Structure 1
Amino acid sequence: MTAHLKLVAITPDCEDPGALAEFYRQVTGAELHPQSHNDFAGLIGVGGLFMGFQRVDRYRRPQWPDQTVPQQIHLDFEVEDLDQMEAILLRLGATSPEHQPAGERARVLVDPAGHPFCLTLD
């Protein structure tokens, strides 16, 4: 018998949990967890995956691709249209770093708290 883990939650650190939860809520369609508050906000996604955002005093934003302050977490999202989704995410507050290591297959963006994440074609 092989033991298996089931991923049930992802929780990055940040300075403003509510703002970061709202950013990801808008782009994933996940529901805001009803017990979210100033120090911790959560989203309930499709399939029950929970995404939490926890406030950390003296939070230091990741500096991707420079690892002076490591990226801390890296999320990947499948999309149908890279250009369209990138435009939406940039309007919502993501940024696009100059360094794009995957060419046309994927795009690296950075969320409002500084965490890098990728968009890949499904």
Structure 2
Amino acid sequence: MPLQMKACAITLDCPDPLALAAFYQQATGLELHPKSDAEFAGLNCADGFFIGFQRVDDYRAPRWPDQSGPQQLHIDFEVDDLAEAETRLLELGASKPGHQPDEARFRVLIDPAGHPFCLVRSR
């Protein structure tokens, strides 16, 4: 029988936790955790889920779609309008790699610290 486990947080390595938290805060509207600092920052979700950002010295960003260096992780975000969300996130500092496996269904973007993340159409 599997353990009764519920995901409660995800933490991303990065060179500048406050900057990456600010990017995701602007993108999602989530609240910055009050104890966020230069070593560890976080965003509080209404349902209790927590997104953390931790400083890593000599951080090396993943390279999408190159798998010679691991992606580390990626997050999918549901959006109503792919093009609108993509435009807004690019304005906030995300970038868009040339390789897009299925642009009609989802978009791969790269956050300011180099993590790939996806925008998917809301169901």
TM over 0.5, shorter chain = yes
Deviation at 1:48, TM superposition (A): 1.1
Q: What residue is the counterpart of 1:79 in the other structure?
A: 79
Gaps (5+ residues) in structure 2? none
How many residues in Structure 1 have an aligned counterpart in Structure 2?
122
* One-letter identity of the residue aligned with 1:96: K
Q: Is the 8 A contact 1:29 1:45 kept in 2?
A: no
* One-letter identity of the residue aligned with 1:21: A
1:38 aligns with 2:43: no
Listed as ranges, the matches of 1:1-122 within 5 Å are 2-122=2-122
In structure 2, what is the Cα distance between the partners aligned to 1:65 and 1:2? 33
In structure 1, what is the Cα distance between the partners aligned to 2:54 and 2:2? 33
In structure 1, what is the Cα distance between the partners aligned to 2:68 and 2:113? 16
Distance 1:2 1:70, change over 3 A: closer
Deviation at 1:102, TM superposition (A): 1.8
Question: Alignment partner of 2:27: what SS?
Answer: helix
Deviation at 1:3, TM superposition (A): 2.9
In structure 1, what is the Cα distance between the partners aligned to 2:18 and 2:44? 14
Q: Is the 8 A contact 1:31 1:43 kept in 2?
A: yes
In structure 1, what is the Cα distance between the partners aligned to 2:2 and 2:37? 38
CA RMSD of aligned residues (A): 1.1
Gaps (5+ residues) in structure 1? none
User: Percent of counterpart pairs with the same letter?
Assistant: 61
Poorly superposed stretches of 4+, deviation over 6 Å: none
In structure 1, what is the Cα distance between the partners aligned to 2:47 and 2:35? 19
TM score, norm. by length of structure 1: 0.96
